[in-house]
């Protein structure tokens, strides 16, 4: 049931006994009870019945439905009437339903072992819980596949684009920026997944949405595959490709109802790649500092060599002039 379709408190205002009875029936069926015989039918305001458990024919219960008009109170003696009727019918189990409200004193009188009291709030919570229970009951089972669907999708995509491959050099100054682009993209997709209400019960709309996300990931994997980094950062390319590949596989495992093990493996790899790439800034900064220090050493060495050459030639000319 969609959130907008859920039963609301105002639905109980001036509700008909027929519609109220439908809600009661749904709840009692979940208790494995079925109607056995009628005790009293009060012309649209009260209905009393004996229901029997489908699991034990000796397990009977009094079912009491009490309807009050909006703004009116329940009969102050209703608790006493209910208990008297239970005694007359020789039953110890009670299901009491009303669209009105019970005072604390009345509830205390009715309360007891195997006594179930349902006011509108209790009915709403129970019906909504039953709707969620039905949804889980009909969810698809996840199954293990030999080859993840995401891997097959990637293989077919890259196979048809061999001619598009080339080489794009990523300078050291751009390494962090490139990594951030893909880590940010990945985090946004993971957040979308984590916000899903139930990954084991995916609506067609959500599936279409994530199929589109998969097709958006594919060209990014192709781009990453042609990146060229300096020797110091060759691992970055490997990690970026792994990140995009396993993100694609993870999304596919979710929407194609692949095994939970496959989902777990691919998600763990995505998180490992993210951890590496998100800590890259410090490594790049350290590398830049080491390059600067190396350049400074070379500069000083060249300076010393230049000074030595100058001194040598100056000495040479001085000797020549003195001779």
Question: How many percent of the chain have pLDDT more than 70?
Answer: 82
Strongest mean pLDDT among 16-20, 202-206, 211-215, 231-235: 211-215
At residue 90, the pLDDT reads: 94
Write out the two tokens for 307: 């000074």
Query: Cα separation of 252 and 153, whole Å?
Result: 9
pLDDT (average), residues 13-17? 88
Smallest Cα–Cα separation from 273: which of 239, 236, 223, 303? 239
- Residue bearing tokens 């830049």: 288
Average pLDDT for the chain: 83
Write out the two tokens for 240: 């970026």
Smallest Cα–Cα separation from 279: which of 236, 220, 238? 236
Query: Cα separation of 244 and 247, whole Å?
Result: 5
Query: Cα separation of 205 and 270, whole Å?
Result: 25
Question: How many percent of the chain have pLDDT more than 90?
Answer: 43
Number of other residues whose CB lies within 10 A of the CB of residue 167: 7
* Spatial contact of 277 and 236, defined as CB atoms under 8 Å apart: yes
Banded pLDDT at 86 (limits 50, 70, 90): very high
| pLDDT for residue 160 is more than 60 | yes
| pLDDT for residue 302 is more than 80 | no
- Residue bearing tokens 């790439």: 277
Main-chain phi, psi angles of 24, to 5 degrees: -60, -45
- Residue bearing tokens 């060209």: 219
pLDDT (average), residues 312-322? 59
Write out the two tokens for 312: 């040598």
Beta bridge pairs of residue 53: 33
Banded pLDDT at 195 (limits 50, 70, 90): confident
Query: Cα separation of 74 and 117, whole Å?
Result: 14
Least confident window among 54-63, 117-126, 260-269, 292-301: 292-301
Greater model confidence, 175 or 163: 175
Which residues 6+ apart lie within 8 Å of 162 measured at CB? none
Banded pLDDT at 321 (limits 50, 70, 90): low
pLDDT digits (tens, 9 = 90+) for 28-83: 999 999 998 999 988 788 999 999 998 888 999 999 999 998 778 888 888 999 99
pLDDT digits (tens, 9 = 90+) for 218-245: 999 999 988 888 877 788 899 999 999 9
Which strand (E) or helix (H) includes residue 216? helix 204-225
Query: Cα separation of 237 and 303, whole Å?
Result: 38
At residue 2, the pLDDT reads: 45
Banded pLDDT at 290 (limits 50, 70, 90): low
| pLDDT for residue 9 is more than 90 | no
Number of other residues whose CB lies within 10 A of the CB of residue 26: 14
Query: Cα separation of 279 and 80, whole Å?
Result: 71
Could you tell me the CA-to-CA distances from 283 to 232, 235, 287 in Å, in that order? 10, 12, 6
């Amino acid at each position: 049931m969609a959130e907008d379709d859920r039963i609301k408190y105002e639905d109980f205002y001036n509700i008909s006994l027929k519609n109220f009875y439908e809600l009661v029936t749904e709840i009692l069926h979940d208790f494995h009870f079925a109607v056995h015989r009628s005790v009293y039918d009060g012309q649209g305001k009260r209905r009393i019945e004996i229901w029997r458990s489908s699991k034990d024919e000796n397990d009977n219960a009094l079912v009491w439905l009490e309807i009050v008009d909006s703004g009116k109170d329940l009969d102050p003696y209703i608790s006493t009437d209910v208990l008297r009727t239970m005694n007359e019918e020789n039953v110890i189990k009670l299901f009491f339903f009303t669209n009105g409200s019970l005072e604390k004193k009345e509830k205390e009188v009715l309360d007891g072992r195997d006594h179930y009291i349902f006011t509108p709030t209790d009915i709403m919570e129970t019906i909504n819980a039953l709707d969620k229970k039905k949804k889980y009951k009909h969810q698809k089972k996840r199954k293990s596949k030999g080859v993840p669907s995401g891997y097959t999708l990637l293989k077919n995509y890259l196979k048809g684009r061999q001619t598009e491959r080339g080489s794009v050099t990523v300078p050291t100054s751009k390494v962090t920026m490139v990594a951030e682009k893909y880590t940010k993209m990945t985090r946004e997709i993971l957040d979308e997944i984590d916000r899903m209400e139930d990954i084991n019960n995916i609506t067609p709309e959500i599936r279409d949405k994530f199929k589109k996300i998969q097709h958006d990931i594919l060209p990014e994997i192709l781009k990453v595959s042609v990146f060229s980094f300096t020797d110091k950062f060759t691992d970055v390319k490997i990690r970026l490709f792994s990140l995009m590949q396993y993100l694609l596989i993870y999304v596919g495992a979710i929407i194609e109802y692949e095994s939970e093990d496959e989902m777990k493996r691919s998600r763990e790899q995505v998180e490992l790649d993210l951890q590496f790439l998100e800590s890259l800034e410090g490594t790049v900064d350290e590398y830049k500092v080491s390059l600067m220090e190396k350049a400074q050493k070379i500069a000083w060495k060249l300076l010393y060599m230049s000074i030595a050459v100058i001194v040598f030639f100056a000495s040479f000319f001085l000797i020549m002039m003195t001779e």
